[in-house]
Structure 1
Amino acid sequence: MSCSTPEVPSVVLDALMPNARRLVTNRRGSTVWEVFGPRGHYAVKLGYPIAATADWPAQPWTALAPAREAAVLHRLGFDVIAYGEWEHGTWNFQPWHEGPDLHRLWEPCREPDPVITPHTSVALGCVEALAELHSKGWAHGDVQPAHFIIGPERTHLIDLALARGGYVPQGYDFPFRGCLVHYEAPEIARSVLATGEAEPTQQADIYALGATLLISATGWRAVEYPDDAPRPVQRQAVANGRRRPVKAPGELGELIDAMLSHTPEDRPTIYELGKALS
């Protein structure tokens, strides 16, 4: 597929009858549109395959990600999600969640002389959103700051295309090959390095949540490696547990340190985190 921005397919336009739309994200293999219309306020996701380059292998799974996410959301009981196929891959639309993501919300905390510190109530909202998923037997697999939307009434955990925990139609399923390395647990990194694949777990989600809270509060990654290092080098640093001597301010610091434990069994459960933050 060319590098031009894909337009919303006509089947989606016919279903939503939008009177306005805005491109939110345009990255390799995926675009997201915010769509307004008489039938509601929606996020429309389009997936398409990533062609191979000199630096990256081909990634055909990105074409299936919107349909896979919609199938997961259906399994979790969100019946308003629609999805289907278009000429380059799959699409879904789902209700739009209003609010900043965690990284943007905590931007003032990362100033050189911050006047505020990260609020534990915000961290608790993230924990509660992840706990809701874990209580249904699922692991998210792609926990990161951009996937926590801090709404006026509750925090939403979005982008469940990589989640594992129940049936997904075979035609839309694909192996889990890791996520953004900044938030990848050591055991996930080791498995991807060894086999090219891994199995998302709730313990790995806890590690990713710790890394998410840390980078949002301080601007620092949990693990030290050069910014321009190839992905296998990044993963090896994570697998080796090369932690930065960085601690989040306030009472979150000790909790985040526990969440980033190298051994999965040493990390607190999502319920222990909720109790501590409550």
Structure 2
Amino acid sequence: MPGSYPELPIVVLDALMPTAQRLVVNRRGSTVWDVESQRGRYAVKVGHPIEATADLPAQPWTALAPAREGGVLHRLGMDDVAYGEWGRGTWNLQPWREGSDLYQLWEPCRKKDSPVEPHIRVALGCVGALAELHAMGWAHGDVQPAHFIIGPERTHLIDLALARGGHVPEEYDFPFRGCLVHYEAPEVARSVLGTGEAEPTPEADIYALGASLLISATGWRAIEYPDDAPRPAQRRAVASGKRRPVRAAGKLGDLIDTMLSPAPGDRPTIQEVRGALC
């Protein structure tokens, strides 16, 4: 394996016969490629296990995540998807989604003294994408700004490796152990701290959507903790449910406040969120 990241697996090269390829993400446990071919343009995800370090335990689930996501996408009715195994883990390929993510798109809103306010139509696009998933009986489990791709025609909700709501291939399944803590609901944080696992729910997705809208619009996390705090300390802060006093502008700010309610039952449903924005 040359370099510091895996190359595209041979089986993917054979399937797509790329005319161009570009490494988009290279992080611990996975790489993502933008691949152009005669078949079209695809996102290709390649997973491998994260080795243990002095500070962090090993995370073998990252090797299974691409194939698990491929199984979820098949269950959701997406045909132009493939997934399988390679020497160190699994991979999937799926149609490329063109556009800017939520955090990128709202960058002008975060500039000091900016007169630009978050556009409600953008927020509605994110709400609509999550509403489609909830309507099919699934919870995403990993809602965050980078996973909303606002395209020219519609908004796509991507990265469904942690989603729950239906059968996925057993050989690629793994327990849900939380997500990026900035967007983790208090009940999820408490469960992960207490048992090491949790269950994604629509209510937790609503909290994560509220936290995503807040940080994209203002640059501030919903919960205050030091940037370099260990993961358990971050989760304890989230589990407390204590919000920092930050608001987005206008009616969006009022709505986000209710979405970030510490009690799941006090949060609006995705349909109620859409109704409030409309």
Is 1:193 aligned to residue 193 of structure 2?
yes
SS of residue matched to 2:143:
coil
SS of residue matched to 2:233:
helix
| Residue 212 of structure 1: aligned partner | 212
Preserved contact between residue 35 and residue 44 of structure 1 (Cα < 8 Å): yes
Identity percentage of aligned residues: 76
Q: How does 1:56-71 map to 2 (within 5 A)?
A: 56-71=56-71
| Residue 114 of structure 1: aligned partner | 114
| Residue 41 of structure 2: aligned partner | 41
Preserved contact between residue 44 and residue 94 of structure 1 (Cα < 8 Å): yes
Preserved contact between residue 118 and residue 250 of structure 1 (Cα < 8 Å): no
Shift of 1:113: 1.8
Query: Which of structure 1's runs of 4+ aligned residues deviate more than 6 A?
Result: none
SS of residue matched to 2:100:
coil
Q: TM-score w.r.t. structure 1 length?
A: 0.99
Q: Deviations over 1:128-165 (max 9, x none)?
A: 00000000000000000000000000000000000000
| Residue 147 of structure 2: aligned partner | 147
Shift of 1:10: 1.1
| Residue 250 of structure 1: aligned partner | 250
| Residue 17 of structure 1: aligned partner | 17
Q: How does 1:88-167 map to 2 (within 5 A)?
A: 88-167=88-167
For 1:8 and 1:251, locate their aligned partners in 2 and report how far apart those are by CA, in whole Å: 46
Letter of the 1:65 counterpart: A
SS of residue matched to 1:251:
helix
Q: How many residues align?
A: 278
For 1:2 and 1:272, locate their aligned partners in 2 and report how far apart those are by CA, in whole Å: 50
Preserved contact between residue 35 and residue 43 of structure 1 (Cα < 8 Å): yes
For 1:229 and 1:254, locate their aligned partners in 2 and report how far apart those are by CA, in whole Å: 29
Is 1:277 aligned to residue 277 of structure 2?
yes
| Residue 78 of structure 1: aligned partner | 78
Unaligned 5+ residue runs, structure 1?
Answer: none
For 1:230 and 1:261, locate their aligned partners in 2 and report how far apart those are by CA, in whole Å: 24
Shift of 1:2: 9.2
Q: Deviations over 1:211-254 (max 9, x none)?
A: 00000000000001111110000000000012100000122000
CA RMSD of aligned residues (A): 1.0
SS of residue matched to 1:247:
coil
SS of residue matched to 1:139:
coil
For 2:95 and 2:115, locate their aligned partners in 1 and report how far apart those are by CA, in whole Å: 35
For 2:249 and 2:30, locate their aligned partners in 1 and report how far apart those are by CA, in whole Å: 35
Q: TM-score w.r.t. structure 2 length?
A: 0.99
For 1:257 and 1:3, locate their aligned partners in 2 and report how far apart those are by CA, in whole Å: 45
| Residue 239 of structure 1: aligned partner | 239
Preserved contact between residue 217 and residue 248 of structure 1 (Cα < 8 Å): yes
For 1:165 and 1:253, locate their aligned partners in 2 and report how far apart those are by CA, in whole Å: 30
For 2:263 and 2:152, locate their aligned partners in 1 and report how far apart those are by CA, in whole Å: 36
Distance 1:135 1:233, change over 3 A: same
| Residue 260 of structure 2: aligned partner | 260
Distance 1:240 1:3, change over 3 A: farther
SS of residue matched to 2:250:
coil
For 2:232 and 2:121, locate their aligned partners in 1 and report how far apart those are by CA, in whole Å: 36
Distance 1:246 1:90, change over 3 A: same
For 1:3 and 1:118, locate their aligned partners in 2 and report how far apart those are by CA, in whole Å: 41
Shift of 1:114: 1.2
Unaligned 5+ residue runs, structure 2?
Answer: none
For 2:123 and 2:174, locate their aligned partners in 1 and report how far apart those are by CA, in whole Å: 31
